[in-house]
A and B are shown apart, each in its own frame.
Chain A
Amino acid sequence: AQSVTQLDSQVPVFEEAPVELRCNYSSSVSVYLFWYVQYPNQGLQLLLKYLSGSTLVKGINGFEAEFNKSQTSFHLRKPSVHISDTAEYFCAVSANYGGSQGNLIFGKGTKLSVKP
């Protein structure tokens, strides 16, 4: 079985500062990794995904994440945040069974609050 741990439930930052949202996963098989964003009263939108290949993945809105297999991490970063980045961010993992995929397992979320 897979599990996801988001190490910070809330992250406050000032506008234009860099931010890192941390995510660690556990799995006995290869995985696919995702970050989703949820704005207030909306559904989830995909920010970026790691399926294979380059461990540095770039997503929408200037976000990027790096897959680190040895540390089982997939931290999300942005060099300069905007007020509009205030949202809740979810890390998610699914098993890669080499041809079929498992269900998506979500972390508990990190609320990013960007202050002026």
Chain B
Amino acid sequence: NAGVTQTPKFQVLKTGQSMTLQCAQDMNHEYMSWYRQDPGMGLRLIHYSVGAGITDQGEVPNGYNVSRSTTEDFPLRLLSAAPSQTSVYFCASSRDPGGQPQHFGDGTRLSIL
């Protein structure tokens, strides 16, 4: 099993550009989530999904969109990139959001110039 796979690993964007961060898991997990990690801030939840077709906002959703058309995939879209979105982004999955441990991808390092 590959676990949680994130692509790309690194990306540089210009302000105003759009892009999609990909996340795929092969564990048939219902729950998937996106976090951003900034120095001294820990991980903050952006969006999450409890199953295909169901998404909801986390703590810091502004500037990001998600969709969940299949159980396996949970892409994160930046509509118009801003320097404040420079961060490391992690995707995670689990059988449920709290009681079960979450499996994390290796992250995407995103820089917005």
Contacts and interface: CB of A to CB of B under 8 A. Distances in A.
Contact of A104 (B4, B102, B105, B106): B102
B42 interface: yes
A49 B100 CA distance: 9
Contact of B45 (A41, A96, A104): A104
Contacts, number: 62
B90 interface: yes
B105 A43 contact: yes
Nearest to A43: B104
A34 B100 CA distance: 10
B74 interface: no
27 contacts: A6-B42, A32-B98, A32-B99, A42-B106, A43-B104, A43-B107, A44-B43, A44-B92, A46-B101, A94-B99, A96-B99, A101-B96, A101-B97, A101-B99, A103-B33, A103-B45, A103-B97, A104-B33, A104-B45, A104-B102, A105-B45, A106-B42, A106-B43, A106-B44, A108-B40, A108-B41, A109-B42
Interface of B: 4, 33, 35, 40-45, 48, 58, 90, 92, 96-99, 101-102, 104-107
Given A102-B98, A108-B42, 5 more contacts: A32-B98, A43-B104, A49-B101, A95-B98, A101-B99
